[in-house]
Structure 1
Amino acid sequence: MPVQLMPNGRWKVDIEPVKGRRFRKSFKTKSEAQRFELACRANVASDSSWSPKPKDKRRLLELIQVWFDMHGASLSDGKRRHAILITAANQLGNPVALSVSGSRVASLRASWLQSGVSGKTANNRLSYLKAVYNQLHRLDEIDYTCPFDKVPSLKLQERPLSYLTKPQIVELLAALDARSTSPHPAMMARLCLATGCRWGEAQAVGPDQVRGGQVTFHNTKGKRVRVIPISKLLESELLKHWRHHGPFTNCLMTFCRVLESTSIKLPAGQASHVLRHSFASHFVIAGGNILVLQKILGHASLAMTMRYAHLAPDHLQDALAFNPFDTLSTLP
């Protein structure tokens, strides 16, 4: 019976109108208990928030597609992420999304590392998987958080940033002018070195974005418009280049082949991005303001720009002035 008289004289209600939602409470009188029972049954019938939601049985691939349709398609690298996520889901066996455990994801990450995937790439893939759950939870598409959110990213050894010296810049530009099968890489490299832009940002620049001694980047990674001053000579060369050769094309592979033919040796994974690092490094070496550099590069956080701070002429010079060894009056 849902309403029962207890030995202590109180009336107890114990009902489960729908599986998974149970109500229990005691009252002084039978009529109060009966009214509570009726109210619970009526609320469960009329208000969905009173009823337990059915378990989400969608598999990971389906959830990834929902994420892409609702959010991923709007990202500048959405298609690339989508492809990476599909591969990861298949490697996991396309489980029910709610049931993906931390140990399962950690095992997959271990297999990536064993197959030669870098730690940074493994961390990126893990963050993409977590972002699917987190974004869909924010959008109220799922009512649970990422089930493997406690899996930490790998701690990676910070690598020093590589940049080209001025003689190396001269060598690279000369090689691009002489050996490139396309006229575009040499001019795009000059634009990257003069403005600190990314290779993809340079590729998207057209004549309408260069005027008045400035170049406007509006297809940026951070979705923010950047306007960077350039010399009159570079502006003239850019406009002349487009008149003779047309708009820039996708010529990254050509750039990489020419770079490999030079004496310049870069760490694995670095190619065109060394141009951006070179701009930032020489800017700081020459005494440029780190806050100005942040604006030029378009970094959302100053922490990203601070990677170049050690190149400043006075960086941490207090260590030399105030350390206890060099300030001894008598050295052995």
Structure 2
Amino acid sequence: MAITATDDGRWKVDVEPVKGRRFRKTFKTKAEAQRFEATCRANCIQPKDWNPKPKDKRKVSELVNRWYDLHGHAITSGKRRRNVLLLVADRLGDPVASKLSGAAVVELRRNELESGSAPKSINNRLSYLKAVFNELYRLGDIDYVNPLSRLKPLKFQEQPLSYLLADQIPQLLKALDARKSKSVRLVAEVCLATGARWSEAEGLSPDLVRDQTVTFVNTKSKRVRTVPISASLEERLAAHFAKYGRFTACIHAFRLSLKRSGIQLPRGQASHVLRHTFASHFMQNGGNILVLQKILGHSSLTMTMRYAHLSPSHLQDAVRFNPLDGFDTSSTPAKKQKKKTLKNQPVGESLP
């Protein structure tokens, strides 16, 4: 037995939980001996000194592929994100993931900035890489915390969203008419009329257009949403589907037409200009921001608030309550200025 009584009334512990690891000790009471035995056995179950867990030597690229197998395959942009992450891993030298440091990522970020990469794109790649570590840690595939958790994204000047003015819309539609594609103009009209993304409008089928509504099912948020349309647009959509079938891929034709129309847009906003145009005109015409959120399918109102400043009533208090209100700043008489100054002067103070 591990615990035995001695002739002098004491209790002797002689335990060997693991071969080669033997513990012997004598105690006054049996309870103390039992606690000592239990402690010795517990400490030998998985002690770090003699049975350490093998270190995770997988490289960043291996974790990226593991992330895709466990999680990334189920998200809309999973393949594209994996390709981006593999490129990032290659630029980092594909180090062992557990030894990846924030300094290495910052150094890569600096090089990308100096080479002309957009800060927003760099931040996106950082968030993708963080998500790999966070998701694998949540799933228990790695046992160390995210080595990039303290790394902050770049701060950059937010660019205003570009949209088409009222006189530019017919200019664009005319350019689209010049294309041989039978789908490009109608897809563009659906985007302008509903605020849909190009891929959502392009994926419409005849059964999704009915009762003066269109239903989008291939959405970014994976949620189905329905938006009303005019009777005229519904008729033209029905005629197109009856004659030509479903829309063909025509985003390239749209981009060429936009370029040839002479309309100048900031870099990177061409594919979303129709969605921005719908949202901007919706707010300019007095639309409700919460209704716009539902139409665009935003899960958070924060995204929709980018268009709030276009509302005619947005922050109008700035005009009513600014310090120049009531003054004719073009030719204000000196007496009127002095009178208003005296009126606002605190009691008990004198003017210089």
- TM-score of the superposed pair, with normalisation by structure 1: 0.86
**Who is 1:119 aligned against?**
119
Task: Tell me how far apart the structure 1 counterparts of residues 124 and 40 of structure 2 sit (CA, whole Å).
Answer: 49
Task: Tell me how far apart the structure 2 counterparts of residues 27 and 302 of structure 1 sit (CA, whole Å).
Answer: 70
Verify: 1:104 aligned to 2:104, yes or no. Answer: yes
SS in 2 for 1:315: coil
Task: Tell me how far apart the structure 1 counterparts of residues 214 and 44 of structure 2 sit (CA, whole Å).
Answer: 63
List per-residue Cα deviations over 1:29-81 (Å, max 9, x = no partner): 59767645542443355579997543222111111111001100001000000
Task: Tell me how far apart the structure 2 counterparts of residues 141 and 270 of structure 1 sit (CA, whole Å).
Answer: 38
Task: Tell me how far apart the structure 2 counterparts of residues 53 and 266 of structure 1 sit (CA, whole Å).
Answer: 56
Task: Tell me how far apart the structure 1 counterparts of residues 219 and 271 of structure 2 sit (CA, whole Å).
Answer: 16
List per-residue Cα deviations over 1:126-165 (Å, max 9, x = no partner): 0000000011111121122210211110011111111101
Change in 2 beyond 3 A, CA 1:322/1:36: same
**Who is 1:208 aligned against?**
207
1:302 maps to amino acid = L
| Structure 1 residue 327, shift from structure 2 partner | 3.4
Q: Is the 8 A contact 1:191 1:197 kept in 2?
A: yes
Task: Tell me how far apart the structure 1 counterparts of residues 144 and 72 of structure 2 sit (CA, whole Å).
Answer: 19
**Who is 2:193 aligned against?**
194
Q: Is the 8 A contact 1:204 1:219 kept in 2?
A: yes
Verify: 1:316 aligned to 2:315, yes or no. Answer: yes
Verify: 1:297 aligned to 2:296, yes or no. Answer: yes
Q: Flag structure 2 segments of 5+ consecutive residues without an equivalent.
A: 1-16, 19-24, 329-335, 339-352
Task: Tell me how far apart the structure 1 counterparts of residues 43 and 95 of structure 2 sit (CA, whole Å).
Answer: 32
Aligned-pair RMSD on alpha carbons?
2.6
Q: Is the 8 A contact 2:289 2:308 kept in 1?
A: yes
Percent sequence identity over aligned pairs: 52
2:70 maps to amino acid = M
After the TM superposition, which residues 41-190 of structure 1 pair with which residues of structure 2 at under 5 Å, given as runs? 41-43=40-42, 53-178=53-178, 180-190=179-189
SS in 2 for 1:171: helix
SS in 2 for 1:323: coil
Q: Is the 8 A contact 1:321 1:327 kept in 2?
A: no
| Structure 1 residue 113, shift from structure 2 partner | 1.5
Change in 2 beyond 3 A, CA 1:140/1:254: same
Q: Flag structure 1 segments of 5+ consecutive residues without an equivalent.
A: 1-16, 19-25
| Structure 1 residue 272, shift from structure 2 partner | 2.5
List per-residue Cα deviations over 1:217-274 (Å, max 9, x = no partner): 1111111111100111111101111222221122111110111001210001111200
Task: Tell me how far apart the structure 2 counterparts of residues 105 and 189 of structure 1 sit (CA, whole Å).
Answer: 40
SS in 2 for 1:271: coil
Task: Tell me how far apart the structure 1 counterparts of residues 128 and 321 of structure 2 sit (CA, whole Å).
Answer: 46
